[in-house]
Amino acid sequence: MAITSGLTGCAAICDGIIEMEMDVRNDVLAQKAWGHWSWVYDDLEYPWHFAKGFKEGYINVLNGGSGCQPTIPPQCYWKACYQTLEGKCKIHAWFDSFSHGALAAKQDGYGDLGQIPISPTARANIEAARRRPQQNMLSEDEQTGEPIAIDATNSENGEVLLAPVDDENDPQVLPRNPNRPIQLRPYE
């Protein structure tokens, strides 16, 4: 352990430990979910493959994924033994159950478990930055009525200048001085 920490650094070891903790937690939650839901799928032809896909779909959502089926099955299904009619049925069982597992994770309330919360101030800055450029960076050509881009950069330092926006109904937006444009910087 001492040799490894000297070569990779403490941060890499901490990241690895956190990743292992999350993997174990997600495996346990997926196994518990399968134990809870498996009775629904008792009459399936390929229960082992269905269980495998269910757990992987569940873990996908726990890891912050969307729960959408992957394009191709896991590499273990690429073997020659799965290139038969029965093998393809096993692969289809895996694909079907992946979606069931993902849905179960969302229904169990784990849809955003892998997301780290950010401060309300940071969230307000992100939302304001998303909203304002779309509202203020386009104008219409007076003759044709087609949208045109406005050059809203300050030539001195390259910052984007936006028209002030006061939204009394939005508690996250502070009132602005209407005579002074907003300077939006990349970190805001």
Q: Answer whether residue 72 shows pLDDT above 90.
A: yes
Query: Do 28 and 90 sit in the same domain of this protein?
Result: yes
Q: Could you give the residue ranges of the DSSP H alpha helices within 9-119?
A: 10-37, 47-62, 85-107
CA distances from 130 to 123, 167, 183, 187 (A): 11, 15, 14, 13
Question: Shortest CA distance to 55 belongs to which of 22, 84, 97?
Answer: 97
The reply to whether 77 falls in a domain is yes
For the chain, give the mean pLDDT: 76
The answer on 150 and 90 residing in a single domain is no
Whether residue 149 is found in the same domain as residue 90: no
- Are 56 and 35 part of one and the same domain? yes
45 inside domain: yes
- Tens of pLDDT, residue by residue over 116-136, are 788 888 888 888 877 754 444
Number of domains within the chain: 2
Q: Does 113 map to a domain?
A: no
Cα 1 to Cα 8, 9, 115, 132, 135, distances in angstroms:
11, 11, 30, 51, 55
Q: Provide the residue range defining the domain that includes 85.
A: 11-107
Measured torsion, CA atoms of residues 167, 160, 125, 136, in degrees rounded to the nearest 10: 30
| 8 Å CB contact between 90 and 51 | no
pLDDT for res 166: 47
Token pair belonging to 89: 């049925």
pLDDT tens-digit map of 104-115? 999 998 877 767
Is residue 92 domain-shared with residue 167, that is, in the same domain? Answer: no
Would you say residue 115 lies in a domain? no
Whether 97 and 128 share a structural domain: no
Where is the domain boundary, 48, 72, 107? 107
Residue 112 within any structural domain of the chain: no
Whether 21 and 87 map to the same domain: the answer is: yes
25 bridge partner residues: none
